[in-house]
Structure 1
Amino acid sequence: MKAASTVPATLDSRELLKVLSGFRKGDFSLRMPTDRVGVAGKIADTLNEILELNDSLSKELERISRVVGKEGKLTQRATLGSSSNGWKACIDSINSLISDLVQPSNEMSRVIGGVAKGDLSQSMALEVDGRLLRGEFLRTAKLVNTMVDQLNSFASEVTRVAREVGTEGKLGGQAVVKGVAGTWKDLTDRDNSMAGNLTNQVRNIAAVTTAGWISSTRSPRK
């Protein structure tokens, strides 16, 4: 008769060290043998489950980095099956980070989309869920809002000058846009230059016409 095969009831310390060393170095593909029984078997199975969870987490983070960061799918979030406790906290933290990064992008898209449609009344919120923006988020929001405010001021002033000079006949009107520089200032100066030239032309025509009329009234009758 053949002797009955025995199932190892202890762990090979060298094998365990190899798996743990690989785990420490970030190699989550290693596994303990699954043929152990008793406490040794439970230790091996538990370690394998930990390795599988870390492997799944690593792959999920790689996936979410690709779909959100590179493919622009901003509604995607990380998942890790029925994880709990620290594992769930890790996933929740990643998803919270994604949401915090995506929210300013969505706000910026909303405001710029409004500008593209001619709606200059939009502005980026400076707080989210009652929490004030900070750091680069706050700086970006203020920059976008300043840009929209300046564009709104410029549009309002150009409209005002065009109405006063062109429609109401109030010659000499000039656009005043506070705090502008660069192209904004150039556009304002050009608008004012155009309004000034138009005013001068009208006044010159009026002066010539008036002079001609006065001259004709003073000429002796034959």
Structure 2
Amino acid sequence: MKVVRRTYRRDVSFGLMVIVFAVVFFLAGQLFEKHQPNVNELMDVNLAKGLVSLAVIVMVLIVWEEILFHVHIKPVDDGLLFRNHGTKLKVQAMFYLIIPVIIVFVYLNFNVNTFRFLAWAVVVAGLPVVGKLMSGIKNYNDFLKLTGGAIQYKNNELEGTYQLTEVKQIHLVKDKRDVLHKMKVELSGGNTVTIDLDEMELEDFYESINEYIVEHYAQLLK
């Protein structure tokens, strides 16, 4: 199994999390009113600030994938299978459930500055995180499989398997930086199939896909 993107070293990841936690803990006091109805106000506020910091840590772990999740390519048959890490999405989804629990618990048990607290909650549990999870769910089953005999892919409702014997040409669509984004597979019957790697969220594999095609499908490249 070939790893194309490794996670950060544990000490680096731990250091980053400590910094994030400390900064958020220091700033989190602005989310709470000075007067708290509980007996031990200092302890309670520090607990609340710790929970706020924990929620931010969870958000960072979801969005900043390099901290926890490496990216690898799975060899299959006589080729390679490119797909998003299924376990990654499950872990991210479980992590995400922690955030609303913390938000509700803190809101119900501490005297918060409503405007600031809700603004923080929207950022932590809002569109960037939800969008990432929804995108992962949408593309959960997407994959590109390249072998010595066929090209197979699934992009949501679009899918197909094409034997190399029926492929006339392959055109690689790249940007100005020479980064691969799409494959256009021209079939001998006259049809052209566009495999959109961007839609499939396979950006971590662009270089590896390009290398495999150039090495194994050179005679078909346009």
Structures share fold, TM-score greater than 0.5:
no
Q: Compute the TM-score of the two structures, normalised by the length of structure 1.
A: 0.32
Rg larger in 1 or in 2? 1
Select the structure with the greater relative contact order (CA < 8 A; seq sep ≥ 6). Answer: 2
Higher helix share: 1
Higher strand share: 2
